[in-house]
Structure 1
Amino acid sequence: MFYSPVNHSQLISNVDRLVRQILFGTINFQQIKSQLNEFYYSFMISLDPDFRYSKPIQVFIESTNAIIGDTYAYNVFWDNEKTMQLINLLSSYGKMIKKDYSAWRYQSHQNGKRLENNIRTLTSNYSRLLFVRVDLKYIPDLSHHITIRDFDFHMKKLRDFIHNGDTCFTHLLGYAWSLEQGEENGGFHCHLLLIFDSSKHYQDNYLADRVGQKWRDITDDIGYCFVLNTREYKEGLTRYGKLGIGMIHRNNLQEVENAVNAALYLTRPDKRDGSYQRLKVALPNMNTFGQSMTH
């Protein structure tokens, strides 16, 4: 597989954030100009006509093209006049971007409602279930090599293993996944929930470790896995009365509620750290969320 030497995902994240800061944030004029001169050229030459970009990026491309015209990106210097033109042009897109953001939040809410309903159905049908939660990422020092094509390829391989019930995915009763992109480093990652038949499995940390190994195999060791099912992490959740992973018992209502809340993290548009984790680039017809449950 070909890995890019340019950090495309970081560039994409930077441009998306810049547009949102210009329209809704507190960025000043000199910061805008500085950032434009810092990554405009690299971003423009990295554009791929086959990719589907977020609304802020789409309006950035349209607005800069209107200002720059046929000038080659390498020869563009963002002076005060061009920067002001861009700010004025972008201002006309504020309502469109807000509408797009609202639609995304609504879809996230709908995904959450379906996920909650499926989990409640599962917990009512089984006396015990084993909930495993992992975050599939890429090693920070190597993540700049990963493009959205690579990420999509890796996720398709992972979903094939899940669908086929191979190795660490045997006796799986349900699963859900959510694809996201980091705000600060632009890194692609997947939040994954796996729900196992507890009559066949009971070692959640062991299963999570095996999923992590599968992810490393799929990514040729560029990927790494953050496991939430460790003893230390679960003890921390227990202290706050929020443990919703591991063995969940139907007759323990608090465990069930915690499990639902833990699962819904996958569909929450606003993450705990306040960052904007929405995927900002995708391939055509690429889904960013999916779930499957056995009822």
Structure 2
Amino acid sequence: MPYSNFNQPQVVANVHNLVTAILANTISFDDVKTQLNGLYYPFMTHFNTELFYSQPVVAFVYSTNAIVGESYPIDVVWDHDKTQRFIATLSCYRNDIERERITFSYQESQNRNNLANYVGNLTTHYSRLLFVRIDLKYAQQTSHHVSIENFDDHMNKLRELIGNKKTCFEHLHGNAWAVEQGGVNGGLHCHLLLMFDGSKRDNDWYLAKEIGEKWKMITAGLGEYYNYHDPERKQKYQQYGKLGIGMIHRDNPQEVENAIASALYLTKPSKDEQQLKLWLPNMRTFGHGIYRTSKRRGLPPIVK
């Protein structure tokens, strides 16, 4: 499916946001009509039945179909009457949308508990770990080149490199990641946490930069990254006793507590506006490494 200059994730996010704004009564009638006329044609032209969409987007599809039927998207004009009927029809899907929000929050809570246990086990097992946090995203000016299929492919390649533990991923003891979609501009991005052997790695800023450059290579130059390890940023957190990245020592309870708190940013039940608005079948949105492995020294053997 060619997307050319069509920004697939952004248009879908705009549709999602339009529906949620209507149901929350935070948008004027005229703005609804304007957005419908701007979004309906590009969205429906590229609508892909092989993808999954958030419930607000599903509600958009069903509600508009109920009003315009088999009309070609290019022929549809959202006048006062059609817009009014669209708003009224949307209310039928309020419960479905709320159920999805509750399910998302519950799943994020489960992910949060699992991640806390995983990171806690690692910080207890190793005397020191180098925590590296980095956000992986795409340049806004070229994001129209990136579909959800591209993003999934890039994430698969990244996870494969992490699993191989070579180059910038050498001496890696643990990892966690979460993929999200921006609530405002619909930008696809990944929050990544990597925990390295603190006796083998010590330059967290440089390491985060290496990983970011690896992401740019995977995405053929479309990717960007945010490095949390800027010295000034770290110093500010250090002043408030909140620094949870860099070298974390097992015998320093405050460092360990901060590191776990920093890790848990990847899973926040309240961040429902950051959920994916479209995804592929079986697409993974969160994951972390395995603590109990046969290669982890100092643990009892795994009984099969």
Give the TM-score of the pair, scaled to structure 1.
0.96
- Residues 129 and 247, structure 1, Cα contact 8 Å, conserved in 2: yes
Aligned partner of residue 225 in structure 1, secondary structure: strand
Distance in 2 between the 1:4 and 1:145 partners?
7
Shift of 1:97: 0.6
Q: Larger deviation: 86-95 or 110-119?
A: 86-95
Q: CA deviation at 1:240?
A: 2.5
Alpha-carbon distance in structure 2 between the residues aligned to 1:109 and 1:115: 10
Normalization by structure 2: what TM-score?
0.93
1:268 aligns with 2:268: yes
2:28 corresponds in structure 1 to: 28
For 1:189, what is the secondary structure of its paired residue?
Answer: strand
Query: Amino acid of the residue matched to residue 275 of structure 2?
Result: R
Match of 1:42 in 2: 42
Tell me the equivalent position of 1:182: 182
Cα distance in 2 for residues equivalent to 1:223 and 1:121: 32
Q: Secondary structure at the match of 2:14?
A: helix
After TM superposition, the structure 1 = structure 2 runs for residues 99-114 of structure 1, keeping only pairs within 5 Å, are: 99-114=99-114
CA distance in 2, matches of 1:125, 1:147: 40
Distance 1:147 1:210 in 2: 25
1:220-244 deviation digits (Å, cap 9, x = unpaired): 1111110101212211211222100
What is the CA–CA distance in structure 2 between the aligned matches of 1:191 and 1:265, rounded to whole Å?
9
Inter-CA distance 144–90: structure 2 relative to 1 (3 Å threshold): same
Give the corresponding residue for 2:276. Answer: 279
Deviations, residues 17-38 of structure 1 (Å, cap 9, x unaligned)? 0111111241111111111011
Q: Within 5 Å, which residues of 2 pair with 1:35-74?
A: 35-74=35-74
Give 1:143's aligned residue.
143
1:291 and 2:288 matched: yes
Letter in 1 for 2:285: T
CA deviation string 1:159-207 (max 9, x = no partner):
1100111211111111011111112211110000000111111111111
1:3 deviation in Å?
A: 6.3
- 1:131 matched to 2:108: no
Give the counterpart letter for 1:151 in structure 2: F
* Residues 1:19 and 2:19 aligned together: yes
Q: Distance in 1 between matches of 2:234 and 2:290?
A: 24
Aligned residues: 292
Contact between 1:248 and 1:259, CA under 8 Å: does it hold in 2?
yes
Runs in 1 of length 4+ with deviation above 4 angstroms?
none
Match for 1:282: what amino acid? Answer: W
* Secondary structure in 1 matching 2:141: coil
Residue 2 of structure 1: how far off its partner (Å): 7.1
Opposite residue 27 of structure 1, the aligned amino acid is I
Contact 1:269 1:278 in 2 (8 A): no
Shift in alpha-carbon separation, 1:3–1:59, aligned structure 2, 3 A: closer
Identity over aligned pairs, percent = 50
What amino acid is the match of 2:195?
A: I
Structure 2 residue runs without a partner (length 5+): 293-304
> Map of 1:194-205 to 2, 5 A cutoff?
194-205=194-205
Is the CA contact (8 Å cut-off) linking 2:181 and 2:276 kept in structure 1?
yes
The answer as to whether partners of 2:237 and 2:243 remain within 8 angstroms in 1 is: yes
- The alignment partner of 1:192 has SS state of strand
Query: Structure 1: any 5+ residue segments left out of the alignment?
Result: none
What corresponds to 1:152 in structure 2? 152
Distance in 1 (alpha carbons) for counterparts of 2:172 and 2:291: 9
Moved more, 25-34 or 169-178: 25-34
Q: CA deviation at 1:80?
A: 1.2
Residue 294 of structure 1 and its aligned partner are, at CA, apart by 3.2
The answer to whether the Cα contact below 8 Å between 2:138 and 2:224 also exists between their aligned partners in 1 is yes
SS at match of 1:276: helix
- The aligned residue for residue 239 of structure 1 is 239
- Which residue of structure 2 lines up, in the alignment, with residue 86 of structure 1? 86
Which whole-Å CA distance do the structure 2 matches of 1:266 and 1:4 have between them?
32
